[in-house]
């Protein structure tokens, strides 16, 4: 399964959710631009998740930076050593192909039609006479010979243990537009990438009448207490993405599940980490998606990603499982938003459609929602997002998918902090006059959140009032 993530930095939270389901990450670079802000964000998220990182330098069919310069950028910015598995021969109009350093074979391509697969010729690196004739460019040929010798002398050998630990990144070059180098990369990636890994989870035993029995450690502790292996016989999986209106004619909703253990079978009944014990959901249909294409799935195994019909109960971070014990994988965190705005429906007659659209878009994680303290749902809704573009997407989808307009009223705050110390800590700080010019709100789980106008104020409060236990992110509760 390949999960494509948004490139725009305003959607970095979507990237994190996709990486929560991944076992390996691919950092895609524009060979002409090098590292960009969204590339840095991807690296931060991949490192946070502890994923092996593979690097693909794309657009070699255009004028590009030197491969050495790209390697230097990665090491200087991330402290990450690279090992070139594929080495480019030229760039732009003179891009001839790549040297596969692992097999010591040169792959030369004919540009041909961009809509069709490039014609490829393989020449062993040792056949210098044929190689020179096929490259048909003395300067590029001499540089290839020089680069091969230089890389062998200066670059540390590929060490897959270091790759798995995130200390070294296999590096590839190619051009997706000319359809060259991509298949070579995918073949290497399949051989080198890590297999589906065990995942920590919280297991909760259930009493015979459905009441929670004592857990292995503590009944009210959401910390993981078990390691779920892919070989575990019971099915487990977690929701990392939801999406509404894939087919606007049917108003369908899908939940994307990463299978962790056991075997998914069409028609199986599963428990749900946030539902009452004993309640089961029938997974009557499942599908895989590739772009706009869908294909029905009968069975799926650990590492697979499937889309199931969402009855409205499944949210991002939820766990589905079989067996008698309730299981919950750690929830997928929500990170501190940086823009905030009230959202309202300007037309009272369309409020029902407005409410439905907002609820479904919030369930997708397109944006986060906040409310004033003690607001049970009747007050104004606050949208919170990483970037302004997310607001624009929400408004556009409300208009196109639900046929409703919306008004946004920006709020002048720049970041949020969750208060792990709870409402008592908030009340103490407020009574002591420590929350002046700070907005007190609650998230969807009724947990306290403070909105700040600048980073300095948040850092000062965190340093002075440690009992608040301020955090720049939050996880949903494992069980309800």
Would you call 243 helix, strand, or coil by DSSP? strand
Q: Which helix (H) or strand (E) holds 417?
A: strand 415-419
Q: 133 Cβ partners below 8 Å, 6+ apart?
A: none
Tokens of 314: 């499944």
Q: How many residues can be counted in the chain? A: 480
Give how far the C-alpha of residue 251 lies from the chain's centroid of Cα atoms, to the nearest Å.
25
Alpha-helix residue ranges (DSSP H) falling in 175-300: 182-192
Q: What is the largest CA-CA distance in the chain?
A: 83
The percent of the chain in helix, strand and coil, each rounded to the nearest 5, is: 30, 30, 40
Tokens of 283: 């997974």
Q: 247 Cβ partners below 8 Å, 6+ apart?
A: none
pLDDT tens string 141-157: 999 999 999 999 999 99
The reported pLDDT for the residue numbered 371 is 95
d(CA 72, CA 417): 36
DSSP 165: T
The reported pLDDT for the residue numbered 210 is 44
**80 and 171 in contact (C-beta within 8 Å)?**
no
Using alpha carbons, select from 167, 176, 187, 182 the residue that is nearest to residue 51: 167
**Dihedrals phi, psi of 179, to nearest 5 degrees:** 55, 45
Q: What are the residue ranges in the chain where pLDDT is below 70?
A: 6-12, 41, 111-118, 206-222, 246-251, 291, 478-480
Sign of CA dihedral 24, 28, 34, 37: negative
Tokens of 471: 């955090």
Q: Could you tell me what percent of the chain has a pLDDT over 70?
A: 90
d(CA 282, CA 293): 24
Q: 352 Cβ partners below 8 Å, 6+ apart?
A: none
d(CA 270, CA 253): 18
The reported pLDDT for the residue numbered 473 is 81
Burial of 327 (0-12, 13-18, 19+ CB in 10 A): buried
Alpha-helix residue ranges (DSSP H) falling in 62-175: 67-78, 128-135, 138-154, 160-164
Tokens of 470: 């301020």
Give how far the C-alpha of residue 3 lies from the chain's centroid of Cα atoms, to the nearest Å.
8
The reported pLDDT for the residue numbered 246 is 66
d(CA 234, CA 259): 11
d(CA 361, CA 392): 13
Q: 27 Cβ partners below 8 Å, 6+ apart?
A: 39, 42, 43, 46, 53, 54, 55, 56, 169
Give how far the C-alpha of residue 133 lies from the chain's centroid of Cα atoms, to the nearest Å.
45
| Token pair 């969807």 in the structure block, residue | 444
d(CA 219, CA 25): 35
């Amino acid at each position: 399964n390949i999960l494509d993530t948004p490139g725009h930095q305003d959607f970095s939270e979507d990237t994190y959710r996709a990486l929560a389901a991944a076992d390996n990450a691919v950092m895609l670079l524009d060979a002409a631009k090098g590292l960009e802000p969204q590339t840095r964000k991807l690296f931060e998220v991949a490192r946070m998740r502890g994923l092996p990182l593979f690097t693909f330098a794309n657009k070699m069919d255009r004028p590009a930076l030197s491969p050495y310069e790209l390697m230097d950028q990665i090491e200087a910015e991330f402290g990450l050593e690279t090992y070139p598995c594929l080495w480019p021969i030229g760039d732009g109009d003179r891009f001839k192909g790549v040297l596969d350093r692992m097999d010591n074979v040169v792959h030369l391509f004919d540009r041909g039609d961009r809509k069709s697969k490039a014609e490829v010729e393989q020449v062993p690196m040792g056949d210098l006479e044929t190689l020179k004739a096929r490259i048909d460019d003395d300067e590029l040929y001499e540089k290839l010979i020089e680069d091969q010798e230089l890389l062998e002398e200066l670059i540390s050998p590929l060490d897959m243990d270091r790759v798995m630990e995130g200390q070294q990144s296999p590096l590839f070059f190619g051009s997706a537009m000319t359809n060259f180098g991509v298949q070579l990369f995918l073949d290497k990636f399949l051989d080198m990438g890590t297999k589906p890994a065990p995942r920590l989870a919280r297991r909760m035993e259930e009493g015979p009448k459905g009441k929670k029995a004592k857990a292995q450690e503590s009944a009210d502790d959401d910390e993981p207490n078990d390691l779920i292996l892919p070989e575990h016989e019971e099915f487990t999986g977690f929701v990392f993405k939801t999406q509404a209106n894939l087919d606007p004619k049917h108003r369908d909703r899908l939940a994307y599940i990463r299978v962790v253990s056991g075997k998914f079978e069409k028609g199986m009944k599963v428990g749900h980490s946030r539902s009452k014990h004993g309640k089961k959901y029938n997974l009557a249909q499942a599908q895989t998606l590739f772009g706009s294409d869908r294909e029905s799935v009968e069975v799926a195994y650990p590492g697979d990603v499937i889309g199931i019909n969402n009855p409205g109960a499944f949210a991002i971070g939820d766990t589905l499982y079989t067996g008698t014990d309730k299981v919950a994988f750690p929830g997928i965190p929500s990170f501190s938003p940086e823009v905030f705005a009230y959202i309202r429906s300007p037309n009272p007659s369309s409020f029902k459609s407005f409410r439905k659209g907002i609820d479904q878009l919030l369930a997708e994680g397109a944006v986060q929602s906040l409310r004033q303290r003690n607001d049970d749902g009747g007050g104004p809704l606050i949208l919170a997002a990483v970037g302004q573009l997310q607001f624009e997407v929400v408004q556009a989808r409300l208009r196109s998918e639900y046929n409703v307009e919306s008004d946004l009223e920006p709020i002048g705050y720049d970041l949020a902090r969750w208060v792990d110390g709870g409402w008592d800590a908030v009340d103490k700080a407020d009574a002591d006059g420590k929350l002046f010019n700070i907005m007190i709100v609650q998230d969807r789980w009724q947990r306290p959140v403070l909105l700040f106008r600048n980073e300095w104020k948040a850092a000062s409060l965190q340093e002075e009032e440690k009992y608040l236990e301020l955090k720049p992110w939050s996880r949903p509760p494992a069980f309800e």
